[in-house]
Amino acid sequence: MSSLLHAVRSVVAPFTRTRFFRSVGPVVLPPAERALAWCSGGRLQISALLVPSLVLHTRGARSGKPRDTYLMYTPDGPGRAIVAGSAFAQDRHPAWTYNLLAHPDASISVSGRHIPVHATLVEDGERDAIWGQIERQWPGYRGYERTSGREVRLFRLERPQRA
């Protein structure tokens, strides 16, 4: 099954880097994800058909209001995940990255399961290794960084340490 999934990703991934997808994706995918989540009680995501996906629950950087964002993630060991602020290769950082910088204690939902997390911005020395992990999952994903003309923010999400 994993070789089939890898083959499908290899075929679909180049399409996601096209100008067409980068212009249509941000408009079509978020409402479609919300609709499917509503219909499935939060257990299904469109993106989860190809890659591990989660819902990131943050507080607005300025407003403090609750915000939900549907994201692909890359597993990073037990209880840890990496998310990339690619924003479909747009030239600005997505709002959720500002939210995590302002309020790093957040939560995620994976397959309908709610998990508290703490977000840490990935340091420069780790970026290449982290991009390698991400690209093993989704070939060519770092191309979004090159196309956007900005350094994509990468965050490690992990369960808070218990005292």
Interval 107-128: pLDDT, tens = 999 887 899 999 999 999 999 9
**Which of residues 149 and 24 earns the better pLDDT score?**
149
Q: State percent of the chain over pLDDT 90.
A: 49
What pLDDT is stored for residue 134 in this prediction? Answer: 94
What pLDDT is stored for residue 24 in this prediction? Answer: 79
Contacts of 86 (CB under 8 A, 6+ apart): 94, 141, 144, 145, 148, 152
What pLDDT is stored for residue 50 in this prediction? Answer: 67
- The CA-based diameter of the chain, rounded to the nearest angstrom, is 48
Contacts of 77 (CB under 8 A, 6+ apart): none
pTM of the model: 0.80
What pLDDT is stored for residue 64 in this prediction? Answer: 96
What pLDDT is stored for residue 152 in this prediction? Answer: 96
pLDDT in tens, 62-117: 999 999 998 999 999 888 999 999 988 889 999 999 999 999 999 999 887 899 99
Domains in the chain, CATH or no CATH each: 2-158 (2.30.110.10)
Which tokens go with 100? 């995590």
Tally Cβ neighbours within 10 Å of residue 62: 10
Which tokens go with 94? 């997505």
> For the chain, how far is it from start to end, CA to CA, in angstroms?
40
